[in-house]
Amino acid sequence: MAQLQIGVCTWSLHIPDLGQTLATIKDQLGLGVIHLGFFDDGYKEPNKIIDLVKASGLKVSATCLGFAGEDYTTIQDIARTGGYLPDDVFEARYEKTVAVADITPKLGTDILTVHIGFVPEDHKDPKYAVMVDRARRIADALGERGVKLVMETGQESPENLIAFMDAVGRPNVAVNFDPANMILYGVGEPVEAVSLLRDRIAHVHMKDATWSAKPREQWGEEVVLGTGEADIPRIVSKLRAQGYTGTLAIEREAGNQRVADIAEAIKLLKSLLG
């Protein structure tokens, strides 16, 4: 059975300086793989980022996009402001996406992950067709660059996500599976989602959470990997059984001891992978 690689999301360390982030990942955490985030305007200086990453010796499993103006205060706020849904900022976000897609192959990967924004559950909603068209446009632009559009789980149930991907109908569209997001957004059981998404999964986040008392209305709570309700051991076992051989990228977006929490996550994953 293929050995999965343990990595970490660069933004999880919450260190503003990328060089310091990379050094901490390599020297303190002892990891060799990163999921590289592009959440500010750093993408406008691509050579600087490429040189830093190459000098670090770290492998990039994927790039990741976030956008100015996305508001995660509540589920309702991110539903309104997230991804490619808001009309007034779509073109600017499209341009940033294409710019990062240009950088992605130069970093040694063909995976670009992003929260595309809330897709309406009602396929008759006019915004559903808009999101299908926008996803096609983005996927086509990425495809020209040899890059996959890898959508992060969270906003949609796995069934609705699959239906949306089928509607988009592009071969370079896949899933970044985040078990905690299924719980945080209140959209489905993570273990069942792995079974449903199967070979659509191109990249994986390792994050854990506990359910909200009001799923889909209020956020669940993110917790240290292995201490929540995502059932990380079963997730990892099922991914391996289904033939996933990519990266398990630890993502920690809460708490004030990020490096220590990531170290605990590494210990857990090493015990599960054997």
DSSP class of residue 25 equals: I
Q: Which residues of 70-108 are buried (b: 16+ CB within 10 A; e: fewer)?
A: beeeebeebeebbbbbeeebbeebeebbbebbebbeebe
Number of domains in the chain: 1
User: Quick check: 1 pLDDT over 60?
Assistant: no
pLDDT in tens, 217-273: 999 999 999 999 999 999 999 999 999 999 999 999 999 999 999 999 999 999 999
CA 112 to chain CA centroid, Å, is 9
Q: What is the DSSP string of 97-118?
A: HHHHHHHGGGGT--EEEE---P
pLDDT in tens, 27-78: 999 999 999 999 999 999 999 999 999 999 999 999 999 999 999 999 999 9
Residue 2 pLDDT exceeds 70: no
pLDDT tens for 123-151 read 999 999 999 999 999 999 999 999 999 99
CATH number of the CATH domain containing 31: 3.20.20.150
DSSP assignment string, 149-166: EEEESSSS-HHHHHHHHH
Q: Is the pTM of this model over 0.85?
A: yes
Residues belonging to the chain = 274
d(CA 16, CA 265): 22
- Quote the domain boundaries for residue 115: 5-273
